[in-house]
Amino acid sequence: MTLKLGHREFPDDTALMMAIVNRTPDSFYDRGATWAEDKAFDRVAEVVDQGAEIVDIGGIKAAPGVEVDASEERRRVVDFVARVRSAYPDLVISVDTWRAEVGRAVCAEGADVLNDAWGGADPALVDVAAEHDAAIICTHTGGVTPRTRPFRIEYADVVASAIADTTAYAERAVVAGVDRRSVVIDPAHDFGKNTFHSLEVTRRLGEMTATGWPVLVSLSNKDFVGETLDLPVGERLTGTLAATAVCALAGARIYRVHEVVETRQVVDMVWSIAGRRPPRRAVRGLA
């Protein structure tokens, strides 16, 4: 299915890189490296140069921490979205927020995608996406409260739950007026899940892609990778890329990442093995 992400459209034979840009002082991975606005803008320039089609701008870290109200979240992201849009008119801008009032403010400044990492915690977010012809990412969190960690959460079948919840959210978005081509589902590794759940979702991701909805995966340096390999945040790239390869073989369309170049190479290689992408250069035995 052709993906329509705000003002851009992408054919179904295209895998997309969504680069993470944190406007937070306490993100788990970069430890506030892009908290300062100019540093965040430099990060945008870097990932655009590396070939990312999408930047995902977030104003609140997912983990528990200092309370960030809607006013502070807007202060962190709205003007920055406007600055990025002015500098990069063709770039797809995503904002990681679950709040409708923040979504409305960033869409007014040119955001193309609302990345709702908390599974519809604010039901009005779909209406905002519809009002602004924006895309929306529909995630599975098992109903947990935003910015809380799962505690002994159980599923009869985690993949069935992920499919049921994300597709229901997707259909609700369409009913609200969001273009069907602008709706993406995300199993949300780690969110409302323990490591065994995230591994199972990875192993069975083909069941999600089989729904026909385009699938986003956010695997980069996640805890399920760290726990599986018993490695700290700064040493999880190889494990992340292994999980990425599995998801790429299953047909995930969007990859939310810290490392753009490495992820692109893995996804391109796997998509070529799967027959979805021709080699960029193939002369061996032919010339």
pLDDT confidence band for 36 (50 / 70 / 90): very high
- Cα distance between residue 186 and residue 173, in whole Å: 14
- The pLDDT, as a whole number, for residue 192 is 96
Question: Using one digit for the tens of pLDDT, what is the confidence trace for 81-124?
Answer: 999 999 999 999 999 999 999 999 999 999 999 999 999 999 99
What are residue 9's DSSP bridge partners?
Answer: 4
- Cα distance between residue 118 and residue 105, in whole Å: 19
- For residue 29, pLDDT over 90 is answered with no
Question: Using one digit for the tens of pLDDT, what is the confidence trace for 45-67?
Answer: 999 999 999 999 999 999 888 89
pLDDT confidence band for 128 (50 / 70 / 90): very high
- The pLDDT, as a whole number, for residue 222 is 97
- For residue 156, pLDDT over 80 is answered with yes
Counting beta carbons within 10 angstroms of the beta carbon of residue 151, is it exposed (0 to 12), middle (13 to 18) or buried (19 or more)? exposed
What are residue 184's DSSP bridge partners?
Answer: 137
- The pLDDT, as a whole number, for residue 274 is 98
Average per-residue pLDDT for the chain = 96
- The pLDDT, as a whole number, for residue 189 is 98
- Cα distance between residue 61 and residue 142, in whole Å: 19
Q: What is the DSSP string of 16-41?
A: EEEEEEE--S--TTTTTTT-SHHHHH
- The pLDDT, as a whole number, for residue 32 is 87
- The pLDDT, as a whole number, for residue 266 is 98
- For residue 27, pLDDT over 90 is answered with no
Q: Summarize the confidence of residues 182-192 as an average pLDDT.
A: 98
- For residue 31, pLDDT over 80 is answered with no
Question: In 3D, which of 206, 234, 230 has the Cα closest to residue 220?
Answer: 234
Buried b (16+ CB within 10 A) or exposed e, 175-213: ebebeebbbbbbbbbbbbbbbebbbbbbebbeebbeeeb
Overall residue count recorded for the chain in this entry: 287
Q: 3-273 maps to which CATH number?
A: 3.20.20.20
| Domain ranges within the chain, ordered by starting residue | 3-273
- The pLDDT, as a whole number, for residue 63 is 87
Question: Using one digit for the tens of pLDDT, what is the confidence trace for 229-251?
Answer: 999 999 999 999 999 999 999 99
- The pLDDT, as a whole number, for residue 162 is 98
Q: Summarize the confidence of residues 178-186 as an average pLDDT.
A: 98
